[in-house]
Structure 1
Amino acid sequence: MTSEPSSSPGISRSIGQVLAALKGDFPDISISKIRFLESEGLIAPERAPSGYRRYAEHDLERLRYVLAVQRDHYLPLKVIKEHLALMDRGETPPPVPSLDRGTAARPEAAPSGDARPAPAAPPPPPKPPVRMTRADLLEASGLTDAALTELERTQIVQARRGTYYGRDALTLAIAARRMAEYGIDGRHLRAFKMSADREVGLVEQAIAPHLRRAGGNRDVQGEVTQLVISFHAALVRTAMER
């Protein structure tokens, strides 16, 4: 196989050199991912007379931006493309609140002898809603089409209103792909879902009287859901540590 010619420093890069430049910050990046982003119109590298793609510095910076907002904010490609269009016109894209990586800054330590307690950090902002197409979900999660089809068949991942996928669908899709690397396949996932369905039935039956008494004054279902999730996670951790 003929290798791509090396680029002159500061002028352009081959796709292999771009891959090497991005690998440190984005370990999951691949040549196929870079070419997919090109096919979606997010980057437009030049072509050398030999036909090879040549990536300028601004192409590399665009890739860094795209990969960062995908990883940190789960933005759909359509929204990312709109941000890039604003940047191309010299405008500033709208701020995107952090979903998973942003944490409140720690207050500085009080000076010696000052016994005043540090102010409490403000609660994190609510996570913005996620609305993804099937193509967006495949691209963001790294699942194959066949793997996602199987998750949909067993109703582990479901489109909302049959039209778009939300944050939980993305979480489930990513977790399913990662667990498959450890041999946890569809058979195990189906067992997890059946167990979750049984738990939901028990919880719904138990909290029904409280829902009626609370009316709309309290989010009983939301509160109990968080308690059940915490309880279940602690049970699993405890069992795994035995």
Structure 2
Amino acid sequence: MNIGEVLTRLEAEFPDVTVSKIRYLESRGLLEPERSSAGYRRFSVDDVARLTWILRQQREHFLPLKVIRSMLLDGVDVTAVEPPEPSRVQPFRERARSGDLGSVSISLDELATTTGLDVEAVVELERLGLLEGREAGRTVVYDGDALLAARVAARFVGHGFDIRHLRMYLVAAQREAGILEQVLQPLQRKGDSRSRGEARHLLDELADAGAALHDLLLRRSLGPFA
């Protein structure tokens, strides 16, 4: 099948996948479709299964391409992974707290490719302070927090949101953090593990309460749109 037919087959599960992304994955050595005598890509059923597996690893496990490529070279069974059942998909807010992304370390290009953002958009997010990279030798890498921030930003951008306006969330979060810190400091000052655990639990509770109040006030302010 040609690349357009591949996109059609993937559309239901991966509506944001583009021709450019498939070509990029091929350029990184993750896909090797055959070529027709005229030079056009011809994807087999196995190629589509491999591509589907790659996209699921990025979406569900936030794996960088170098890790995915290593797994493919090790002979991972790309047909063994089924799409997650809707009821078993962990809510986005819970995933952000799970700590599962703590070991993520990806480049700027990988961060852009994984989230579907342009490199320029990721650079702008970093300039605005919404995410940050860290130096690793001669390069800059991004962790799980940066990946989550970029994925959330991509949702806004996908709906035509001006990326510069996302800074209002950072400003609001910084103000909220300053107030919550005053509540949490007495527990932190005690220094023992039990008090630190209580502080983390209290932070989760207050963050949930703040998110619920924000949602309520936002919908009330939007009136007929809510």
> Which category of TM-score, normalised to the shorter sequence, fits these structures?
0.7 to 0.9
**SS at 1:219 equivalent:** helix
Aligned partner of 1:74 in structure 2 is: 62
Is there any run of 5+ residues in structure 1 with no aligned partner, and where?
A: 1-12, 105-124
Aligned AA (1:192) = Y
Aligned-partner Cα distance in 1 for 2:206–2:86: 24
In the alignment of these two chains, the number of paired residues is 205
The match for 1:166 among 122, 138, 143 is 143
The 5-angstrom pairing of residues 209-228 of structure 1 reads 209-217=186-194, 218-228=196-206
Aligned-partner Cα distance in 2 for 1:55–1:16: 10
Aligned-partner Cα distance in 2 for 1:128–1:174: 13
1:103 aligns to 2:76 (yes or no): no
Q: CA deviation at 1:224?
A: 3.2
Distance 1:151 1:67, change over 3 A: same
Deviates more, 1:163-172 or 1:212-221: 212-221
The match for 1:22 among 10, 17, 26 is 10
**SS at 1:27 equivalent:** coil
CA contact (8 A) 1:73 1:99 kept: no
Between 1 and 2, higher relative CO (CA 8 Å, sep ≥ 6) is seen in 2
Q: TM-score, normalised by structure 1?
A: 0.74
Distance 1:57 1:174, change over 3 A: same
Distance 1:92 1:143, change over 3 A: closer
**SS at 1:207 equivalent:** helix
Identity of aligned residues (%): 37
Distance 1:102 1:74, change over 3 A: farther
**SS at 2:193 equivalent:** coil
The 5-angstrom pairing of residues 2-151 of structure 1 reads 13-87=1-75, 103=88, 127-129=100-102, 130-151=104-125
Q: CA deviation at 1:164?
A: 2.5
Is there any run of 5+ residues in structure 2 with no aligned partner, and where?
A: 90-97, 221-226
CA contact (8 A) 2:101 2:144 kept: no
Aligned-partner Cα distance in 1 for 2:86–2:60: 7
Q: TM-score, normalised by structure 2?
A: 0.79
The structure with the largest alpha-carbon Rg is: 1
Distance 1:144 1:233, change over 3 A: same
Q: CA RMSD in A?
A: 2.8
Distance 1:24 1:40, change over 3 A: same
Q: CA deviation at 1:214?
A: 4.5
